[in-house]
Amino acid sequence: MKSILIVSMVELKMKKIRLILSSFLNLILPKFCVNCQREGFYFCDDCLLFLSESNLICPVCQKSSYFGNRHKSCPKLNRLDGLVSFWDYDGSIKEAIHKIKYQGLFDVLEEVLEQTIYVFEKDPFRFSIFLSFLTDEKTLITFIPTNPVNYKERGFDQARLLADHLARTLKKSTSVLLKKNRNTKSQTGLNKEERFINVKDSFSFIPQGSGVIEKVLLVDDVWTSGATMQEGCRVLKNNGIKEVWGLTIAKA
Ligand SMILES: [Zn+2]
Ligand SMILES: [Zn+2]
């Protein structure tokens, strides 16, 4: 048992080393546009024009919500209080997320986030509730953990990369509040109801010692049915957290 543990720890270390090497190589190797393969940046000037900003929605009924907050008339119990997704999960953004997730090209994320800042700057009023939540010193930043088997294969957690980046920008640190209890099958191909069943009870809460946690930002890469985020939120709220907003790069 002990030797199996040592072998898997060595494997994980090797994966991390390979990832560090590959992200170093990414810095010195030429970059190609994720969409048209033109050399220079991961998003070339032409393809940038086609990035499609996502409308903000209420995380419960998934209908339009100007500030991304949950409608007052929508069910409240253990649900997300708000949601911000920046882009439609399509074209270059979809390609970029695939490059991060399956090829470990972390610097793609930097370029995605650079573009995301422009979205905020263009319409700060629309993001005002979210930004005051995000910058509140009581708000902790956490993420949806990936399946243990995926983590073992890839050696990183894509949602954590995003959470870490955001936390660094805000001079905070990422809090690890959720643990994945079991491997869940891919949500792709499942209908909405099956997606909720698939992730039910798949997370547990990691207590953070003393002190009450009031507000949490829950980060993930893509919002599709919202099943995973709502399940993560349910676990957080069952453990006393009062307000939870979700943040994803893209919305399908
Ligand atoms: Zn291009
Ligand atoms: Zn609603």
State the ligand closest to the CA atom of 95: 1
pLDDT at 6: 64
Closest by alpha carbon to 158, among 217, 117, 203, 99?
99
pLDDT of residue 237 exceeding 90, the answer is yes
pLDDT band at residue 116 under the 50/70/90 scheme: confident
Residue 223: strand, helix, or coil:
strand
What integer pLDDT is reported at residue 185 of this predicted model?
86
Q: What's the CA-to-centroid distance between 223 and ligand 1, angstroms?
A: 24
Question: Is the model's pLDDT at 4 over the cut of 90?
Answer: no
Q: Which ligand is nearest to the CA of 65?
A: 2
Say how many Å lie between the CA of residue 70 and the centre of ligand 2: 5
What is d(CA 130, CA 222) in angstroms, rounded to the nearest whole number? Answer: 18
Per-residue pLDDT band at 240 (split at 50, 70, 90): very high
Residue length of the chain? 252
The most confident of the ranges 31-40, 95-104, 110-119, 224-233 is 224-233
Give residue 220's pLDDT.
Answer: 95
Q: What is the DSSP letter of 68?
A: S
Confidence at residue 22, expressed as pLDDT on a 0 to 100 scale: 61
Q: Is 164 exposed, middle or buried (0-12, 13-18, 19+ CB in 10 A)?
A: middle
pLDDT (tens digit, 9 = 90+) per residue, 53-88? 999 999 999 999 999 999 999 999 999 999 999 999
Residues with CB under 5 A from ligand 1 (ion): 33, 35-36, 38, 44, 47
Work out the percent of the chain whose per-residue pLDDT is above 90. 55
Residues in the 5 Å CB sphere of ion ligand 2: 58, 60-61, 71, 74
The pLDDT of residue 5 is 62
Q: What is the DSSP pairing of strand 215-223 with strand 139-143?
A: parallel
Q: In which band, very low, low, confident or very high, does the pLDDT at 122 lie, cut at 50, 70 and 90?
A: confident
Distance from the CA of 177 to the center of ligand 2, in angstroms?
26
Residue 152's pLDDT band, with cuts at 50, 70 and 90, is confident
Each residue of 195-211: pLDDT tens digit?
Answer: 988 889 999 999 998 78
Q: Which ligand is nearest to the CA of 33?
A: 1
Dist. CA 65 → ligand 2 center (Å): 7
| pLDDT tens sequence across 9-24 | 667 676 677 666 666 6
Q: Is the pLDDT of residue 1 over 60?
A: no
pLDDT at 168 over 80: yes
Ligand that comes closest to the CA of residue 45: 1
